[in-house]
Amino acid sequence: MKEIYFYLSLGYAGLLFFGIAMFRYMIVFDDTLGQAFCFFGVLLIAAFIRFVERRLGVSIKESNVTKVIFITFFVALTLAFLLMK
């Protein structure tokens, strides 16, 4: 069961890095089409992770805890990038 948490955390870490890269891309290049592609890419990846969580039998409580941790890291890193610019 711990193996599932390891791979789920890897998936969320990948989504986090992709989201941060997308945010930096939007700041640096100000490309609206690229922004749309990145936004829909993140939505599709998040939907896939939710599907995998359901198939693996991850409880709702565990899923919500990982989402809160993910959102906290994403907001903190996004604010850090905004303050550095």
User: Band of the pLDDT at 8, cuts 50, 70, 90?
Assistant: confident
Q: Work out the pLDDT band at 85, boundaries 50, 70, 90.
A: low
- How many angstroms separate the Cα of 77 from the Cα of each of 48, 59, 63, 67? 23, 27, 21, 15
The closest of 41, 51, 50 to 17, measured between CA atoms, is 41
* pLDDT given for residue 83 in this prediction: 83
> Structure pTM?
0.62
Q: What is the pLDDT of residues 37-57, one digit of tens each?
A: 877 887 888 888 888 888 888
Q: Where are the domains of the chain?
A: 2-84
